[in-house]
Amino acid sequence: QLHLQESGPGLVKPSETLSLTCAVSGGSISDSSYYWVWIRQTPGKGLEWIGYISVSGTIDYNPSLKSRVTLSVDRSKNNFSLKLSSMTAADTAVYHCARLYSVGYYPLDYWGQGILVTVSS
């Protein structure tokens, strides 16, 4: 059974860069059938797509965040990471990582529970 676990700071100051990591267990991040995804969730905007990355180097970012987002994968640690720069209060959210099956209809078949990130001075 695949398990995804987000980690990182729960509090970030305005203008700083958020760094989150998603640890993957029970499966290999190198499986070419999957992409690795970040999504965030707020009461106001609901679920918002951030982007995905594959181990082969395929990357896709939400255009609304593209200028501030960087995704990366670490095969040796079986994890992947998100960096979001120039954080503001509007970036306060629960950040989820997830796995996307890249064959067929691209469902998100496993999700992490999420980590609450608050932006405040």
111 lines the binding site for other proteins (CB under 8 A): yes
Which of 11, 30, 89, 109 is close enough to bind other proteins by CB under 8 A? 109
- CB nearer to other proteins: pick between 49 and 68: 49
Q: Which is nearer to other proteins, 46 or 57 (CB)?
A: 46
Q: Which of 56, 113, 118, 120 binds other proteins (CB under 8 A)?
A: 113
Q: Is the Cα torsion angle 10, 120, 83, 53 positive or negative in sign?
A: positive
Report the nearest approach of other proteins to the CB of residue 56 (Å).
17
Distances (CA, A) of 45 to 14, 21, 86, 92, 105: 20, 23, 19, 11, 24
Amino acid at the residue 47 = L
Which is nearer to other proteins, 10 or 104 (by Cβ)? 104
Give one DSSP letter per residue of 49-82, joined into a string: EEEEE-TTS-EEE-TTTTTTEEEEEETTTTEEEE
What letter represents residue 116's amino acid? L
CA distance 114 to 4: 9
Binding mask 22-61 for other proteins (x = CB under 8 A): ------------------------xxxx-x--------x-
Q: What is the binding site for other proteins (CB under 8 A)?
A: 4, 46-49, 51, 60, 62-64, 96, 104-114
